[in-house]
Amino acid sequence: MTTLDDAPVAAEPLGNEARGRAAELHRIRALAYAGPSQRATDAQRAKGKLTARERIDLLLDEGSFREVETLRRHRATGFGLEDKRPYTDGVVTGWGTVHGRTVFVYAHDFRIFGGALGEAHATKIHKIMDMAISAGAPLVSLNDGAGARIQEGVSALAGYGGIFQRNTRASGVIPQISVMLGPCAGGAAYSPALTDFVFMVRETSQMFITGPDVVKAVTGEEITQNGLGGADVHAETSGVAHFAYDDEVTCLEEVRYLLTLLPQNNRENPPAVESQDPADRRGDVLLDLVPADGNRPYDMHKVIEELLDDGEFLEIHERWARNIVCALGRLDGQVVGIVANQPSVLAGVLDIEASEKAARFVQMCDAFNIPIVTLLDVPGFLPGVSQEHGGIIRHGAKLLYAYCNATVPRISIVLRKAYGGAYIVMDSQSIGADLTYAWPTNEIAVMGAEGAAGVIFRRQIAEAEDPEAKRAEMVKEYKAELMHPYYAAERGLVDDVIDPAETRETLIRSLAMLRTKHADLPSRKHGNPPQ
């Protein structure tokens, strides 16, 4: 069987006529499309992985893919490379459509040099990235590579530098999605980290800077590749991966769904659809879903389901920092971003990871013209030595900075508790929310009534014959004076107190008014956000 590696650099034409030349072209293309050998393809499938072209076919609309530089070959010599010059050089690049909208893509072909990046390989990726930026269309990378091509030395490393530079230049300009479908080690892992979203597949994809062998040699720790940098590790522990799935087919289908919620670039709005869910649909279930008692938990997902069109949404970082929920969905057919405290996890407090998760999501929404709806039920920041030493001030400031810097329409709703600095940080009116609403169950205050009464009335409680009875009396007095549902509304700190059942209609009408919002920012090169 003739393989890609066996193909001559310039085959003898099948005659001088144009038909012969065309036949020669189709023969060479067929070799490139087939890949290096059936043995290499079988080895790929034995690992539970699809080929690069099969993955592209799943991602893009049928028949829409247009490949560029199919016949590219490396020019490197030494270590036997001059005798092994396969077409594509181990990466398939091009563009197509997803639900009719243009998307650029590159896919590593693990069958060729293990998907390792060489000079020609990198140049192809640089070109397709430049095309995506120029055309103003999303870029999806299907990653399955063994890192830099060692035989090409520093030229391969320079190729990664070009990718990182373009990732950064494209950031906030076009959506960038990294799909991890195999190993990604060393410096190669930084490209996905620079993109907007990272998808991973369990068991077959891993990301780490130094592999298990290096870890064992340096620290003595023994760990598997999946234990070190598998999909579940990055989806639950490190927060590197936004999504993790069991198989490639499901993963790529979800990438297609995510693209329907994103604009082509930062100059466009996300695609709107016609909604069959009435804009004025009442949500009476919300009256029973959220307990008035601030100490009783509930699942914020159910609130979000009740508000959004048909109860559908895509949660970002679902399994990391679960005390805050970040999701994309639609209201009356228009895409919105939801940031919401989750009372069923750590009572919905803000901590280091929750602050980072929400900050990055807010920045993404702002970059791509997605209005932000914030649902508050937050008792404050998580106290503790580990949080303070871990830099909760610095990390919490990231969320504050992201909200203050966002110019997209912003609406916040206080469902229940909103205490202290966490209330301010979660898009309060004072940091620039366009509209702020509250439910009749809201409690907006510096701190909870129990803690406040203990501070303000410490002496009276200590001197009372029955301290506990006095404490209860003072708590009741503090609530009546400073924490009743209309205290903030009376002082203009919220725009209205609304019936929870009317929340969906209120949001839709408010966002429709804000659709033409325009905000001018001071002239500057860029801000200096807290790190």
Residues belonging to the active site: 186-187, 421-422
Query: What SS3 class is residue 445?
Result: strand
Instruction: Specify which residues 91 forms β-bridges with.
Output: 108
The HSE-up count of residue 135 (CA atoms within 13 Å, CB side) is: 19
As beta bridge partners, residue 378 has 418
Burial track 113-126 (b if 16+ CB lie within 10 A, e otherwise): bbbbbbbbbbbbbb
Which run of H or E residues covers position 410?
Answer: strand 410-419
Burial of 5 (0-12, 13-18, 19+ CB in 10 A): middle
3-state secondary structure of 68: strand
Degrees to nearest 5, angle at CA 250 with 147 and 46: 55
Q: How far apart are CA 284 and CA 287, in angstroms?
A: 6
HEC string of 206-222 equals EEECCCHHHHHHHHCCC
Q: Which residues contact 85 (CB under 8 A, 6 or more apart)?
A: 5, 9, 73, 74
Is the Cβ–Cβ distance between 410 and 388 less than 8 Å?
no
- 187-192: long-range contacts (C-beta < 8 A, 24 or more apart)? 187/147, 187/148, 187/157, 187/160, 188/117, 188/143, 188/145, 188/147, 188/148, 188/160, 190/160, 190/164, 191/141, 191/143, 191/160, 191/163, 191/164, 191/167, 192/141, 192/143, 192/240
Strands 197-201 and 176-180: parallel
d(Cα 330, Cα 336) in Å, to the nearest integer?
Answer: 6
> Do 479 and 442 form a contact (C-beta atoms < 8 A)?
no
Which 3-state string (H, E, C) describes 142-200?
EECCCCECHHHCHHHHHHHHHHHHHHHHHCCCCCEEEEECCEEEHHHHHHHHHCCEEEE
Nearest to 316 by CA among 308, 324, 304: 324
Q: Which residues contact residue 80 at a Cβ distance below 8 angstroms, ignoring those fewer than 6 apart?
A: 151
- The residue written with tokens 């990390």 in the block is 395
